[in-house]
A and B are shown apart, each in its own frame.
Chain A
Amino acid sequence: MAEWKFTAKDFAQIPELFASGHRACAGCGPAIVMRLILKAARGPVIATNSTGCMEVVSTIYPYTAWRIPWIHTAFENVAANAAGIEAALKVLKKKGRLKYEHIDVIAFGGDGGTYDIGLQALSGAAERGHDFLYVLYDNEAYMNTGIQRSGGTPLGAWTTTSPAGKVIPGKTERKKPIADIMVAHEIPYVATASVSEWRDLVLKARKGMEVEGPAFLHVLAPCPRGWRHDTSKTIEIARLAVETCVFPLWEAENGEYKLSPKSKAIALKPELKKPVEEYLKTQGRFKHLFKPENKHLLEEIQKEVDRRWQKLLKQCQIS
């Protein structure tokens, strides 16, 4: 397939399918994801969300922000939602009861709805090979219920269920490598993206829709409420995550890992890689790590980021 080419102006002129007026907080990263992904649509789409912030803020009855057909059913089953829709579309088309040549199906899941409670449905749908794009909007905690930790919350982060206490300094476990887990499902397309690199993000979303079979797009999406940062810093912080290699950008087509431009540049010029502290210090959820007694944690986190980066370089066959 030919790569989608567009200018920023072209992109701005694409109609907004995720309407303004939704109730997300100012500076909400996930709301940017919804908007950009729908702008990347190549034709008619049906979308579905897991329970979470994006479902709640976009559909307070009788209002809706969705200018496309959209359904929500529960928290742990958004991949099954997509599977049912996709199977129905296929059979209706076969029986001549669908007036479209093709409809793209997009599932939006939060980190809670993906790493944790929704992993089974996602794994099942991936294994069965349904043709859909799964978008994980990762704000690294259960924000809708008040900032509780998930399998996607990073090491050391404060949340309301991994509080920075006198004995335990925030989350003691690492972030689950969810995108690698999806690559291990041997699906045709897996990629990571950040709201800071919007062009990279929408190109990957388009690719995810174009491939036949399941595609998984993992998007880092800062949440000012939960990460404890100013609402104007969302994009800046998302960019720092990429620049520190806390959240490198890559894609795996048919299992072949490849760094995306922004991370590739760092791989080729390691001095561009910023220290992880520059990212951590922007957010209140990591504030406790900067106390003198927690200095070792900062080192531990840096080590962990470096280890994963090295592993990724190997996966991308860059040494």
Chain B
Amino acid sequence: MAALKQEVIALNGDEAVAYAVKQCDVDVVAAYPITPQTIIVERFSEYVANGEVDTAFICVESEHSALTCCLTAAATGARAFTATASAGLALMHEILGVTSGCRAPVVMAIVNRALSAPINIHGDHSDSMAERDMGWIHIYAENSQEAYDSIIQAFRIAEHPEVLLPTLVGLDGFILSHTLENVHVLPDETVKRFVGERKLPLVRNHEGKLVPFKLDPENPITIGPLDLYDYYFEHKRQQEEAMRKAYDIIKEVHEEYAQLSGRRYGNGLVEPYRLEDAEIATVCIGSTAGTVKTVVDELREKGVKAGLLRIRVFRPLPVQDIIKWLSDKKAVAVMDRACSFGGNGGPLFHEIRHALYDLQNRPPVINYIYGLGGRDTPPYLIHHVYQNLQKIVETGRIEQLVNFIGLRE
């Protein structure tokens, strides 16, 4: 099917997110400003002030309240969105777990930024990586176009009755949030139809009756009770099951969206780049993939069989895809824009290596920690990574498992 004719507008990453939210018929937006997310809140305030949206915008007094408002709005049957970064996300931490535990399908944009201290406003992934285990679906965009597309998909994924999990969409602070890009936007009506009205699954209430899952005087339910050792574990197990189901739903939603827009990001969970016949590969998340793709092209020109696997969805971790794409490689380097201090490597490294562990012949997997606090990662650094991979293939030896690049040592 031919993709729809789309308007092209110059937007930075934050504006692309705000634009997508405007089109998704969101009922409640509650947010608190923090660099580099501020533009999202400002643009959205303008949409509200100009009557372009039918959204209750709650300009809260903290991120903790921002996410709380979204959570209870979602529990009331509304579609809710928030956005934050860095310290704001850290302040929300408690409520991230409460949101997923209450199965409130809130969508949140994270404009990835370094964590304090020392205070730094630039991009890295330490903020959202610290929220890895809070029961949220994690989607990371490579560019502003993908940020736009991912926000629209996120509502469908989060609210899917089989999923019902909050979903975050990460985009790199400044690199994406503050850089203009030509973004193709779908017509308002198309997005509205794609996202649809929020569907409410039926749940069994305390009287054994099946009722819509929302705070409704006609069918009262209790949300967020005290839940001790006799049931808590089963409820946590259900969250894990929802994550498993999310894998397929993410794929389906991504494909349906691709039919409309003509834009595809791999299978929706991972995006391989010149990987099929590659011998050496890097794995990364976010905007750095753009740089890596350029480097891969340069290497290919020279006959080096280099490739890239971009992880678009980090939770649920697409283990089968990771195995499929990396198992036959001769050496793999995982790029982490976050550090797990004392953890022998970054979070992505741990997970990629873990996914490959059971293979008979697994490739050597090394780790590069790069770009903390927004440190630039130019192509020559990526070249350096591939050179090291070539050396590992030649010598069969790993000199250093966990490496830091692009800094004074």
**Which residues of A are in contact with B by a Cβ distance under 8 Å?**
44-46, 48, 55-56, 59-64, 66-74, 76-77, 79-85, 87-92, 94-95, 97, 99-100, 103, 120-121, 123-125, 127-128
Q: Are A92 and B77 in contact (CB under 8 A)?
A: yes
Q: How far is the CB of A281 from chain B (nearest CB, A)?
A: 36
Chain B residues near A127: list those with CB within 8 A.
Answer: 61
A71-B215 contact given A60-B228, A62-B231, A94-B54, CB 8 Å threshold: yes
Q: How far is the CB of A309 from chain B (nearest CB, A)?
A: 33
Q: Are B65 and A121 in contact (CB under 8 A)?
A: yes
Chain A residues near B197: list those with CB within 8 A.
Answer: 97
Q: Are A61 and B227 in contact (CB under 8 A)?
A: yes
A-B contact count (CB 8 A): 162
Q: Are A88 and B225 in contact (CB under 8 A)?
A: no
The answer, yes or no, to whether B249 is at the interface (CB within 8 Å) is no
Q: How far is the CA of A121 from the CA of B61 in the complex (A)?
A: 7
Q: Are B68 and A84 in contact (CB under 8 A)?
A: yes
| B94-102, B159-167, B299-307 - interface stretch | B94-102
Q: Are A61 and B226 in contact (CB under 8 A)?
A: yes
Q: How far is the CA of A71 from the CA of B98 in the complex (A)?
A: 11
Q: How far is the CA of A122 from the CA of B58 in the complex (A)?
A: 14
| B172-180, B216-224, B359-367, B382-390 - interface stretch | B216-224
Can you list 13 A-B pairs with a CB-CB distance of less than 8 A? A59-B225, A69-B216, A69-B217, A80-B69, A83-B58, A83-B65, A84-B71, A87-B69, A88-B56, A88-B76, A92-B77, A121-B65, A121-B68
Return the chain A residue nearest B61 by Cβ. Answer: A124
**Which residues of B are in contact with A by a Cβ distance under 8 Å?**
27-28, 30, 54-56, 58-62, 64-65, 68-78, 80, 94-95, 98, 102, 197, 206, 214-228, 230-231
Q: How far is the CB of A126 from chain B (nearest CB, A)?
A: 10
Q: Are B58 and A84 in contact (CB under 8 A)?
A: yes
Q: How far is the CB of B136 from chain A (nearest CB, A)?
A: 16
Q: How far is the CA of A310 from the CA of B76 in the complex (A)?
A: 45
Further 13 A-B residue pairs, CB within 8 A, beyond A81-B72, A88-B77: A61-B231, A70-B222, A73-B72, A76-B64, A83-B60, A87-B30, A88-B73, A91-B27, A92-B77, A95-B54, A120-B61, A121-B65, A127-B61
Q: Are B206 and A81 in contact (CB under 8 A)?
A: no
Q: How far is the CB of B265 from chain A (nearest CB, A)?
A: 32
Chain A residues near B226: list those with CB within 8 A.
Answer: 55-56, 59-61
Q: Are B220 and A84 in contact (CB under 8 A)?
A: no
Q: How far is the CA of A183 from the CA of B61 in the complex (A)?
A: 19
Q: Are A123 and B61 in contact (CB under 8 A)?
A: yes
Q: How far is the CA of A307 from the CA of B341 in the complex (A)?
A: 56
Q: Are B76 and A46 in contact (CB under 8 A)?
A: yes
A121-B62 contact given A73-B224, A87-B69, CB 8 Å threshold: yes
Q: How far is the CA of A70 from the CA of B61 in the complex (A)?
A: 24
Return the chain A residue nearest B102 by Cβ. Answer: A73
A74-B68 contact given A59-B225, A68-B217, A85-B76, CB 8 Å threshold: yes
Chain B residues near A62: list those with CB within 8 A.
Answer: 206, 231
Q: How far is the CB of B197 from chain A (nearest CB, A)?
A: 8
Q: How far is the CA of A69 from the CA of B72 in the complex (A)?
A: 12
Chain B residues near A90: list those with CB within 8 A.
Answer: 56
Return the chain B residue nearest A78 by Cβ. Answer: B68
Q: Are B64 and A121 in contact (CB under 8 A)?
A: yes
Chain A residues near B220: list those with CB within 8 A.
Answer: 66-70
Return the chain B residue nearest A62 by Cβ. Answer: B206
Q: Are A70 and B223 in contact (CB under 8 A)?
A: yes
Q: How far is the CA of A103 from the CA of B218 in the complex (A)?
A: 11
Counting chain B CB atoms within 10 Å of each CB, the highest count among A79, A87, A95 belongs to A87
A89-B76 contact given A64-B206, A66-B220, A73-B71, CB 8 Å threshold: yes
Q: Are B215 and A85 in contact (CB under 8 A)?
A: yes
Q: How far is the CA of A291 from the CA of B74 in the complex (A)?
A: 55
Q: Which 7 A-B pairs have the closest CB atoms?
A: A124-B61, A84-B72, A84-B69, A59-B225, A44-B217, A69-B215, A80-B65
Q: How far is the CA of A70 from the CA of B75 in the complex (A)?
A: 10
Q: How far is the CB of B209 from chain A (nearest CB, A)?
A: 13
Q: How far is the CB of B31 from chain A (nearest CB, A)?
A: 12
Q: How far is the CA of A66 from the CA of B224 in the complex (A)?
A: 12
Chain B residues near A99: list those with CB within 8 A.
Answer: 218
Q: Are A74 and B94 in contact (CB under 8 A)?
A: yes
A87-B223 contact given A48-B72, A61-B231, A80-B69, CB 8 Å threshold: no
Q: How far is the CB of A22 from chain B (nearest CB, A)?
A: 11
Chain B residues near A77: list those with CB within 8 A.
Answer: 64-65, 68, 95
A73-B98 contact given A80-B69, A124-B65, CB 8 Å threshold: yes
Q: How far is the CA of A73 from the CA of B106 in the complex (A)?
A: 14
Q: Are A71 and B56 in contact (CB under 8 A)?
A: no
Q: How far is the CB of A128 from chain B (nearest CB, A)?
A: 7
Q: How far is the CA of A67 from the CA of B228 in the complex (A)?
A: 21
Q: How far is the CA of A66 from the CA of B219 in the complex (A)?
A: 12
Q: How far is the CA of A81 from the CA of B58 in the complex (A)?
A: 12
Q: How far is the CB of A7 from chain B (nearest CB, A)?
A: 26
Chain A residues near B28: list those with CB within 8 A.
Answer: 84, 87-88, 91
Return the chain B residue nearest A45 by Cβ. Answer: B217
Return the chain B residue nearest A64 by Cβ. Answer: B222
Q: Are B62 and A120 in contact (CB under 8 A)?
A: yes
Q: Are A85 and B225 in contact (CB under 8 A)?
A: no
A87-B73 contact given A69-B221, A72-B223, A72-B225, CB 8 Å threshold: yes
A128-B58 contact given A48-B72, A84-B72, CB 8 Å threshold: yes
Q: Are A87 and B58 in contact (CB under 8 A)?
A: yes
Q: How far is the CA of A30 from the CA of B30 in the complex (A)?
A: 31
Return the chain A residue nearest B217 by Cβ. Answer: A44
Return the chain A residue nearest B26 by Cβ. Answer: A91
Q: How far is the CA of A83 from the CA of B218 in the complex (A)?
A: 21
Q: How far is the CB of A69 from chain B (nearest CB, A)?
A: 4
Q: Are B222 and A59 in contact (CB under 8 A)?
A: yes
Q: How far is the CB of A18 from chain B (nearest CB, A)?
A: 12
Q: How far is the CB of A79 from chain B (nearest CB, A)?
A: 8
Chain B residues near A82: list those with CB within 8 A.
Answer: 72
Q: Are A92 and B223 in contact (CB under 8 A)?
A: no
Return the chain B residue nearest A97 by Cβ. Answer: B77
Q: How far is the CB of B400 from chain A (nearest CB, A)?
A: 43
Chain A residues near B221: list those with CB within 8 A.
Answer: 69-70
